[in-house]
Structure 1
Amino acid sequence: MLQPARRLMVSIGLAATMALSPLAGTAQAQTPGFRNILAATQTKYAAIVVDAKTGEVLYAKHADDPRYPASITKIMTLYLTFEALSSGKLKTTDRVVFSPRAAAASPSKLGVRPGESISVSEAMQALAIKSANDAAVAMAEKIGGSEARFAAMMTLRAQELGMQNTHFANPHGLPDSRQLTTARDIAILSRAVMRDYPQYYHLFNQRSFTFRGQTMTNHNRLLGRMPGVDGLKTGFTNASGFNLAVSAVRDNRRLIGVVMGGPTTAQRDQNAEDLLLTGFDVMSRRARGEQITVAQSLFEPEPTGPIQRTGIEQGDAEQDGVKIVLAHAPIPAPVAARAAARPARGEDWAVQVGAFKKQSDARAQIALVKQRFSKWVSGGAADTDRAGGVYKARIQNLSEGDARGACKAIKAKKMACMVVKG
């Protein structure tokens, strides 16, 4: 096994070499974490590394392929809990009663009996640290009235946040074939938690908590092992493999890494650590003027059988330093006709490029899109109307051709876009 420092230098050297070579995809670089994965296990693997501040994707592998989230689901359960606290619908001292359904949930669990209750504060710690399934059901029933209704709320919020390939069927992540997500969507959710509810993020960094005399420890083993790691959540089922959403800070830079489908806890953690270490080094070297990226094939072994070589997943065109932003997807609802007057030229089309809780975020996304896709939208007018509790980022007064051309180009860069008529 390579020492951490040597492993990092090997990884970075290979990443730089592959980034500069048009034949990058032919390299067979592998890090120790996933050296011996069987072909059957490889079908579960997916990973992504994202700059938490800008949303730039530093590395992606099968990032948009459907995966089972397992207990990473509870990040969304907590997101809706934070939302209820911030809106005043809940207080941390409110009681969460355990129904017979909640108490009957499979482990991991607190073991609270039917009819008993815990505080909202205790429930949040149980979700973030213990990953308690009974607490997840009880909280879902507290907020949504029923587990099924809460799952529908989770799916709707996921769509609003831009998690375009996610569907929730329960609040805990226990096996359900309908419960699907992607590595990219989990990265979007992780960013949303930090951005929208920073006052509660510390829960994901809590190493343990004591409940009724029993101390329960966090399942995230990178906490305290890798400097800078302060969250987020692990997950495992037989169908999902070993999952991890993790975030770390180094030199005032924060990265989010998501690894799904690991064959063991140790290999998952090692892979996530390797990805983050390399990501931090890439960011540091970019700050010094180097144009490098993390190579696609660096962290996973070659699959068995013939494969199509594609080089660096994010595309060689991204070597110019322009950032790829994980934009939020629009709310999936019918768009009402606008009453505002349109230019005489009949340019009554628009593109919607996100939906944000803050108007400033919507404006920033519009500015980014107008800069990167000026060929189609330079003459469009910015619009950040508020609807459904979010600000819709739109560029309007476009021709139909420009609107459709813009969305095609925007989606090609893995950014959200929707064409809107009038």
Structure 2
Amino acid sequence: MARCDSRSALLPATTLVELTIAIAIMVVIFAAVVPIVRAVRTNWDARQASADQVQNARILFDHIHRNLITATAITAVSQPNQTDGFIEYDGSDGKTYRYQLAGGNIQYGQVGDLRDLAGPFGRLRIQCFCPPDLQTPITDVDQIGLVRIEVGTDSSRPSWSMAVSLRVEPQTEFSPGVAVKQDIDWMGGCIDSYRSSQGPYNPDARGTSAVISTNSNGAKKIELSGGTIVWGDAYVGPNGDPDEGIKTYDTACITGTQGVLEQDVEIPDISAPGGMPSSEGPLILLGGTMTISTNRHFSWAMVWGDCRLVIDGDLTIQIDQWCWISGAEIEIPQGSRLRMYVGDWVLITSGAMLNASYGTPSNLMFYMYGHNETFSTWGSSQVYAVLQNPRGSVQVWTPSQFFGKIKADNIWGNGQIHVDLDAGF
């Protein structure tokens, strides 16, 4: 005879009404919770997409900065308010490159071979300027000196944008900023470029169009060490081999071309000027201010200490022997110009400032007509000049700086040379 478990008999059964109520409660709960979960997920997806776009833009701007800063000229650009913009430029390697917005992506590459670089983006706006006017966008490629680039999402949605300003240098004829007959031996510092017509030199917007060259085609005629950076190109003499003639050590580098000159850079010998007045003995200035407004002729020159030599007019000064300028200032206002002929050595020391107040190198021309003489700068001196020492050497030692152009038999040091692309010999 079967027995009945009394405990099971006492458990109440779930009625149909109770089951219906339980299901209804679950439906209400899901109806309330699911939209919240969906909103959280949507918000997370939006935040993730925004973060991806920001990271995408950062990578894009790094690419633009790294490549466009090497431009030697802008060759084509879209209208300033065009949102599907483009820009073409000549790189330091002589090839033409292009950035453009197409199909929702930023594309980049050599003209005729563009590939997707970053995206999606809905806006690429490019504005170009001619410094010092940074308010009026231009499209004249011969006048462009500054480029501003903006990218963003589609304007129909909440958008963001970033901008970057880059200095580029208009294309110029081949003209070395540092040209020698024999050796270049640089052991630190940098050699870069700028344009004095566009304002003072700015290390944060250094130019990359400096050119150094030697007429010699022998081995190791250009040697760079100690972290030297040549922001531009380097050339050995005709029929030379850049691999043999140019040597870089440790972290030293040349950012542009390493090539061969088609012909020697002209570095002519210099003679003493004719038609000068008779020598009046030494020039000694140890304090105060002295103004020179006529051609003068001295046996030697010592300009020392807290003093100032002011040039008033378009003048020539001849110094038969040596010239030592220490801690003093040579001031050449705009509209004035000095041609200084020196027969022996020139020494610039102790923070001397030569033509630094107005900063136009072509207003101070150094012509050294001696044999085996040296032009050297030391300390925190700054020299704004165009220098020719065809039978001697030039030395620039840190932390001194030379702004302008140089021709010499040889050059060595570890200071800074900033080639002024607007200066001429």
Q: Shorter-chain-normalised TM-score: which range?
A: under 0.3
Task: Report which structure shows greater RCO (CA 8 Å, sep ≥6).
Answer: 1
Higher strand share: 2
Using structure 1 for the length normalisation, give the TM-score: 0.22
Using structure 2 for the length normalisation, give the TM-score: 0.21
Larger radius of gyration: 2
